Chains A and B, each alone.
Chain A
């Protein structure tokens, strides 16, 4: 956060107690909201706080979590990536086609091909946005359709199942009592957090989202950074593709439809501004957890999924409302 404020020329005002409260709320509001939600759910449902249930929640959010982390990088640069669900489905299909139980290529090749497929499509997004100035919304909307089409072409519309047991480990395995998808999500989160907080690249991501013109004038290679964030989102879609194919024991051509919405929702709930330059990856983590806990809690309580959608939508709007009030306060 300190990097972003120093580069975006919007220093947080200090001194007045009301501002302190406002900035405290905007920094920790998401954490408080999450804790309140968890307390409420553990009171109304005796099952919520069980170790197994909490592991379930973490396993259920890990795929959206990985997508949302890539989305955070893109949104910080004022971009958007609408293609994550389709790119994920394509990567899953490519990886699964080399992970059959009968024609076994080992674990490394499907992983590399899955990540590679995501990286290639993400790089095309990045190239078109950074080099040819196609608006991110348009480019990734196009990719949403193209990647879905590629998925159907590649699979001929049929699911690929009967995957090898070591590939399935990526989605269903455990290491020291922790599900593998959760470990993958945690690893990606730590790398992303470190990158945004401690590297020059991370500072540039905030800078070009905050003020692209000033960034270019100060010598930042805006094109390269812009390209990179879409490539990062792509490779993370590849990882999410490996995870969902392994979790559901099949690569399904219709997988991941509308997943971009949950990923964007998590980023927005986490306080990252769609106007770019402001936000933190830890916010995205809590955004992902809040969506997961709401879904899980309402399932445990037996609430209809209609209400689930209503609640999720309302939380997105409220989160953006808080974000707005923070902008006007600052």
Chain B
């Protein structure tokens, strides 16, 4: 832990020396992620490093790996406060465990801008993320549109109790309530895991042979697991509609092959938008906003960075936009 921090400190120091020729006093911003192991947080942190203000050297970003542990995130906040970062971008692992660190930082005069995952506190300077309830609605609608009002579906959920699972489930339930004749054959967690979802779906295909019309998965990994189970059991994905959430690269490829639909969560907009808002709160940048997030989503009001909540829209990925999204990933 100490070695990790020392390593980060050294890399920060080198960053300072390399950028000092460009800007006299770069704005130091800490990005506390819940963990860098998944593809989504990788895309998120890479997007931060590609933000125009970071590239120009005006802003210096240090990314922290929270290692999926609220306690680790809390101690990373301690050191960011000690080292007096100008602002913190925060993607908490848990919506409640994050409250303490946020209050600590705010009390120390450091604004905290939440990104991606909500935190149950009014102390955040702002929140830039996507509404998971909406994602749940969209993924459910995507499947029910195809299976019809009397279709039979199964629902594969994230780890029970995680905020994304709770909110996406809310959205799914809302749509199900509007379609009372849609029959939910099974509803279980596969803990965001492809391997777990694969076994689960194999077993469901046995228990409900020929009955399942659609699969509503709360994330793409699990949707892909379900597709693999469908193929392994000799059925065709043409007969079963599968949809997931997030828009990971494997899911985009599956959309391209016509195997599933996905609801893209825009990691780039969440990260770069949060940085724009943080800079606005600091009042330090001359021209704001700097990222192209706000031109890409004209309906998303910038409001000079003064809003409390910025909901980055979800995008349904289909044949019309999958090629260009995949091309962006290849870069």
Binding site for B on A (CB under 8 A): 45, 47, 50, 52-53, 56, 59-60, 152, 156-159, 161-162, 172, 244, 247-250, 252-255, 295-296, 299-302, 304-306
* Residues on B with beta carbons closer than 8 Å to the beta carbon of A161: 249-250, 253
Taking A157-B37, A247-B195, A247-B198 as contacts, is the C-beta distance between A47 and B42 under 8 angstroms? no
Q: Name the A residues within 8 Å of B193 (CB-CB).
A: 254
Known: A159-B39, A248-B225. A300 touches B207 (CB 8 A): yes
B186 lies within 8 A of A302 (CB):
yes
Q: A172: which B residues are within 8 A, CB to CB?
A: 228, 232
Which residues of chain A come closer than 8 Å to B294, judged between CB atoms? none
Contact status B39-A157, CB under 8 Å: yes
Contact B42 A300 (CB under 8 A): no
Contacts of B160 in A (CB 8 A): 306
A290 to chain B, nearest CB (A): 16
- Closest-by-CB residue of A relative to B188 is A305
Given contacts A172-B232, A249-B224, A254-B37, 5 further A-B contacts (CB under 8 A): A56-B203, A248-B194, A248-B225, A300-B203, A300-B206
In the complex, the answer to whether B207 meets A244 with C-beta atoms within 8 Å is no
A315 to B288, CA, bound (A): 61
Residue pair A250, B250 in contact (C-beta under 8 Å): yes
Closest to A172 in B: B232
CB of A162 within 8 A of CB of B253, answer yes
Selected A-B contacts with CB under 8 Å, 23 pairs: A47-B207, A47-B209, A52-B206, A52-B233, A56-B202, A56-B203, A59-B202, A60-B199, A152-B36, A156-B42, A157-B37, A158-B42, A161-B249, A161-B250, A247-B228, A248-B198, A250-B194, A252-B194, A255-B195, A299-B199, A299-B203, A300-B207, A305-B188
Residues of B in contact (CB 8 Å), total: 30
CB distance from B110 to the nearest CB of A (A): 27
Among B42, B189, B195, which residue has its beta carbon within 8 angstroms of that of A305? B189
Q: Which residues of chain A are within 8 angstroms of B195 by Cβ–Cβ distance?
A: 244, 247-248, 255
- B302 contacts chain A at the CB level, 8 A cutoff: no
Q: How far is the CA of A45 from the CA of B204 in the complex (A)?
A: 12
Chain B 202-237: CB-based contact to A (< 8 A → 1; otherwise 0): 111011010000000000010011001000110000
Task: Give the residues in chain A near B37, CB-CB below 8 Å.
Answer: 152, 157, 253-254
The answer to the question of B54 belonging to the interface, with a C-beta cut-off of 8 Å to chain A, is: no
Which residues of the partner chain A approach B250 to less than 8 Å between Cβ atoms?
A: 159, 161, 250
Q: Which residues of B contact A (CB under 8 A)?
A: 36-39, 42, 160, 186, 188-189, 193-195, 198-200, 202-204, 206-207, 209, 221, 224-225, 228, 232-233, 249-250, 253
**CB closest chain-A residue, reference B200:** A299
Give every chain B residue within 8 A of A56 (Cβ-Cβ): 199, 202-203, 206
- In the complex, what residues of A have CB within 8 A of residue B203's CB? 53, 56, 295-296, 299-300
Is the Cβ of B228 less than 8 Å from the Cβ of A248? yes
- Chain B residues closer than 8 Å to A296, beta-carbon distance: 199, 203
6 tightest A-B contacts by CB?
A299-B203, A300-B207, A53-B206, A60-B199, A56-B202, A47-B206
Q: Nearest Cβ in chain A — how far from B206, in angstroms?
A: 5
- How near does chain B come to A119, taking the closest CB pair, in angstroms? 23
Q: Which residue of A lies closest to B225 (CB)?
A: A248
B residues less than 8 Å from A253 (CB atoms): 37
User: Measured between C-beta atoms, what is the minimum distance from B153 to chain A in Å?
Assistant: 14
Rounded to whole angstroms, the CA-CA distance of A226 and B143 in the bound complex is 54
Please indicate the chain A residues that have their CB under 8 angstroms from the CB of B221 in the complex. Answer: 252
Q: Please give, as numbers and ranges, the residues of chain B lying within 8 Å of A250 by CB-CB distance.
A: 194, 250
Which of B37, B198, B228, B232 has the most C-beta atoms of chain A within 10 angstroms of its own C-beta? B37
Q: Give Cα A252 to B224, complex, Å.
A: 13
- Give the interface centre of B42, B198, B203, B249 by most chain A CB atoms within 10 Å: B203
- Residues of chain B within 8 A (CB-CB) of A158 are 39, 42
Closest residue to A46 on the B side, CB-wise? B207
A299–B39 contact, CB under 8 A? no
A156 CB to nearest chain B CB (Å): 8
Q: In the complex, are the beta carbons of B207 and A249 less than 8 A apart?
A: no
Asked whether, in the complex, the Cβ of A304 is within 8 Å of the Cβ of B206, the reply is: no
Q: Which residue, B39, B195, B253, has most C-beta atoms of chain A within 10 A? A: B195
Q: Within 8 Å CB of A306, what residues of B?
A: 160
Name which residue of chain A comes closest to B196, CB basis. Answer: A305
Q: How far is the CB of B245 from chain A (nearest CB, A)?
A: 17
Separation of A302 and B206 alpha carbons in the complex (Å): 12
Residues of A within 8 A of B199 (CB): 56, 60, 295-296, 299
CB of A160, distance to nearest CB on chain B (Å): 10
- Measured between beta carbons, the chain A residues less than 8 angstroms from B198 are 247-248
